[in-house]
Amino acid sequence: MQLVDNLQEIQSRIITTETCQMILDIYGVVHIKGYPDIIETLDQAKKSLAALIEITDGKGAPVLLDLREIRGKTREVRDFYAQPEATQYYHAVAYIVGTPFQKMLGDISLMISKLTMRTPTKLFLNEQEAALWLRTQVRP
């Protein structure tokens, strides 16, 4: 049953955690959609990283992170995601934000943090533009 095999393959590329849903697309990009009004805890962040590692078979991938509905992350969680033990699994990161003002603030923040960042990172208002950029970041 080819159709059933393909369906199972597609389903195996979706992981749901306490804070988000992750989908590995056919181009090798992981789309992460955070649940509304979530403020992720450190324990949840560790589980989310484990899910990213699982969905990419430990190889990592470019990541599209939709921030439009989440409430935020604590400094502890941001620091966790910035550690080399975590960033080795992000080949590139595209953040989706909801307004031009959020994008402007985010761009300023990225300019400041690029001094220490090793991961290509950009902010977008449009998911399609972000996904196209991330496809150029997929490693063989």
Closest alpha carbon to 35 in 20, 51, 14, 52 = 20
> Residue 140 falls within a domain, yes or no?
no
pLDDT in tens, the chain (140 residues): 444 445 545 555 899 999 999 999 999 999 999 999 888 999 999 999 999 999 999 999 999 999 888 887 888 988 898 888 999 999 999 989 888 777 777 666 666 565 456 789 898 999 999 999 999 998 87
CATH code for the domain in which residue 108 is found: 3.30.750.24
Number of domains comprising the chain: 1
10 Å Cβ neighbour count for 113? 11
Residue type, 129: E
> Residue 85 falls within a domain, yes or no?
yes
As a whole number of angstroms, the distance between CA 117 and CA 21 comes to 25
**Owning domain of residue 88:** 2-135
